[in-house]
Structure 1
Amino acid sequence: MQIFFRTVPIHLWFLTIWSVSKIIQYIFNQQQTVWEMIWQRSIDYYEQDKYKLFEYGILVTSTATSVIVLSIYSFFDFTQKPAFIRKYKINPNTNEPPDSTKFIKVISYSVINVILAVIPTTLLAYYGLKWRGIPSLYPLPNILTVLITCFINDHIFDVSAYTTHRIMHHRLLYKHIHKIHHEYKSTIAVAAFHSHPVEHLLVNLLPLVPGIVIMKCHIATAWIYLIGHMLSSFITHSGYHLPFLNSPEYHDFHHMKFECNYSVLGLMDWIFGTDKLFNNTIYHKRDKILFSLKSAHELYPKEDGKVVKTQ
């Protein structure tokens, strides 16, 4: 079942935040929820221009999300604080702290990728959505519609991304393009953007477009979906298996072994049998959402190559 619901924690967090906003609206007898107020101000700021709302809105929200989340994870990595966080590292004693030169190189790749890959992709998504017919700015879609749309988009993305990712492992493409992303065998959050611009475009970004166009996403839903996707990518590459968040064990194993676990959700790997190596390891046992403060290492310790679950 994990192959269908690997990104669900992000969706549940959004549902929780939305629910809190509804409670606040009820308690203070407000006419609008926090989300509706943010959306209204965004519409006013961009003068109801759908192009600006889509293009600039996505660039602003994605940049803000990246800076905030990556700053938090980078603080964990470079300071190794708070101390209790270290027990959640998938591979202890790695990147403690990360190599500064390598880190700066990753940041430079990120800036290049925004210019060469992110902007063209958002333009393609906008005009694809315009061709389908951009939904009216009002009203905002209800929460159920947003969650179902994001869920379906995740699986549309998984099919496309699996295909392009696996192609990138062809020896010629790997040597000249994909090898850059695999410079980190034990990843950190910023490594999510550490890739050749061609790969970033073909593997990470373009597979996002079909879902947005096919599902005829409301612009606000597209914002939420893309932010959620970014958060999942940061978590997946963070190197930390934190409670109540997506498990990064699956993709982390891909960085260790290369020739397996090509997809994000795992569905395509299951169909084509490219997850068999992973399924026979301790990492498969640990590939769970943690619903307590115990780390995956504590729940599934490794003793003489055998998996023993603690009580």
Structure 2
Amino acid sequence: MLPYASVQDAETAIGRSLTAAETLWFNYSATKSDYFLYCHNILFLFLVFTLVPLIYLFIEFVFSKNIIPYKIQPKVKLSFADNLNCYFDVMRMFLLVVGPLQLVSYPSIQMIGIRTSLPLPSLLEIISQLVVYFLVEDFTNYWIHRFLHGKWGYEKIHKVHHEYTAPIGFAAPYAHWAEVLILGIPSFLGPAMVPGHMITFWLWIALRQIEAIETHSGYDFPWTFTKYIPFYGGADYHDYHHYVGGQSQSNFASVFTYCDYIYGTDKGYRYQKKVLRQLRDGLNGDEKQNGESHAASAQDNKSE
């Protein structure tokens, strides 16, 4: 709750006029407790888990013929009912684990110093903190993910997430309850190291889940802006990890690819890409050679 009775009090305290965004924030949050503001995460996660995969599902069923060239595993097609069942499984985990965890974890947010006060952070501050959060989460998640692909970790916990060998958007948060709790640690480390404003925290939680849904979407669209993010893995990169399944010792990264490259856990993926390139080049070469042969035959027929 903001310690100001009015906008004028807030402006006096910070020594300048409030921006439009700060005025909106004051009007919304001035009479609300910090705990209530923190619990907005529950609503944001529910909306992300519901609406973002639904966009992919809508595109798949309405524009299926147009987007089939971008489907990574085109032979696998889950029904609407399959998608719905996955969503209900995720929502059950949301109600039993994710939501209650959000409700009881507020003391940790207080401890690390996530603030709700004015002034609001600048755009540069928000972006720089989000970059740190993504990097910290990605590095930590990489090692936890590798552990979960050990014999014990996979058999007891991680195999639930790998039930979808051809992932879909709704399956991004689909996992064993223990995995949901364990992977909450990397998401918390970045804000703990570089605490910021509650708005930045909201954005971080929402963007991380949107990224996870995109990488599990099953589609590698060439026009997505994430193609321009350095070292970003994306859907094709993570889809390989699901395609190989439980035996996979490749592509553990959650967001970026540099850890897999440094520690040599992307060799299977790079080898597959190399083989596919060679096959495509061979087919194109054969087509070109056949075309030249047909042209030569036609020329011979004319000569005769």
Amino acid at match of 1:303: R
2:131 is the alignment partner of 1:151: yes
Q: 1:282 to 1:192 in 2, by over 3 A?
A: same
- The answer (yes or no) to whether the contact 1:141–1:218 under 8 Å persists in 2 is yes
Q: What's the TM-score, normalizing by structure 1? A: 0.73
Q: 1:93 aligns with which of 75, 78, 98?
A: 75
TM alignment of 1:274-293, pairs within 5 A = 274-282=265-273
* Per-residue deviation, 1:305: 6.9
- The answer (yes or no) to whether the contact 2:53–2:217 under 8 Å persists in 1 is no
Separation in structure 2 between the aligned mates of residue 123 and residue 227 of structure 1, nearest angstrom: 17
Q: 1:48 aligns with which of 32, 40, 46?
A: 32
2:180 is the alignment partner of 1:200: yes
* Per-residue deviation, 1:65: 2.5
* Per-residue deviation, 1:201: 1.8
Q: 2:262 aligns with which of 254, 268, 271?
A: 271
Q: 1:249 to 1:177 in 2, by over 3 A?
A: same
* Per-residue deviation, 1:229: 0.5
Q: 1:302 to 1:126 in 2, by over 3 A?
A: farther
Aligned to 1:176: 156
* Per-residue deviation, 1:167: 1.3
- The answer (yes or no) to whether the contact 1:113–1:197 under 8 Å persists in 2 is yes
Aligned to 1:214: 193
Amino acid at match of 1:256: Y
Per-residue CA deviations over 1:148-171 (Å, capped at 9, x if unaligned) read 111111111112211221111122
Separation in structure 2 between the aligned mates of residue 169 and residue 38 of structure 1, nearest angstrom: 46
* Per-residue deviation, 1:40: 4.3
Aligned to 1:130: 110
* Per-residue deviation, 1:31: 5.9
Separation in structure 1 between the aligned mates of residue 282 and residue 134 of structure 2, nearest angstrom: 34
Aligned to 1:253: 240
Separation in structure 2 between the aligned mates of residue 189 and residue 109 of structure 1, nearest angstrom: 13
Q: 1:274 to 1:155 in 2, by over 3 A?
A: same
Q: 1:223 to 1:202 in 2, by over 3 A?
A: same
Query: Partner of 2:196: helix, strand, or coil?
Result: coil
Q: Which runs of 5+ in 1 are unaligned?
A: 1-29, 286-299
State how many pairs are aligned. 256
* Per-residue deviation, 1:266: 2.1
- Measured on the aligned residues, the alpha-carbon RMSD in Å equals 2.9
Aligned to 1:64: 47
Larger Rg: 2
Aligned to 1:233: 212
Identity of aligned residues (%): 26
- The answer (yes or no) to whether the contact 2:113–2:196 under 8 Å persists in 1 is no
Separation in structure 1 between the aligned mates of residue 74 and residue 278 of structure 2, nearest angstrom: 13
Separation in structure 2 between the aligned mates of residue 301 and residue 66 of structure 1, nearest angstrom: 39
Query: Partner of 2:135: helix, strand, or coil?
Result: helix
Query: Partner of 2:20: helix, strand, or coil?
Result: coil
Relative contact order, CA 8 A, sep 6+: which one is greater?
1
Per-residue CA deviations over 1:109-129 (Å, capped at 9, x if unaligned) read 212321343235435653223
- The answer (yes or no) to whether the contact 1:124–1:209 under 8 Å persists in 2 is no
Q: What's the TM-score, normalizing by structure 2? A: 0.74
Amino acid at match of 2:237: Y
Q: 1:84 to 1:37 in 2, by over 3 A?
A: farther
- The answer (yes or no) to whether the contact 1:42–1:53 under 8 Å persists in 2 is no
Separation in structure 1 between the aligned mates of residue 26 and residue 49 of structure 2, nearest angstrom: 23
2:23 is the alignment partner of 1:32: no
Q: Which runs of 5+ in 2 are unaligned?
A: 1-17, 227-233, 286-304
- The answer (yes or no) to whether the contact 1:187–1:252 under 8 Å persists in 2 is yes
Q: 1:182 to 1:212 in 2, by over 3 A?
A: same
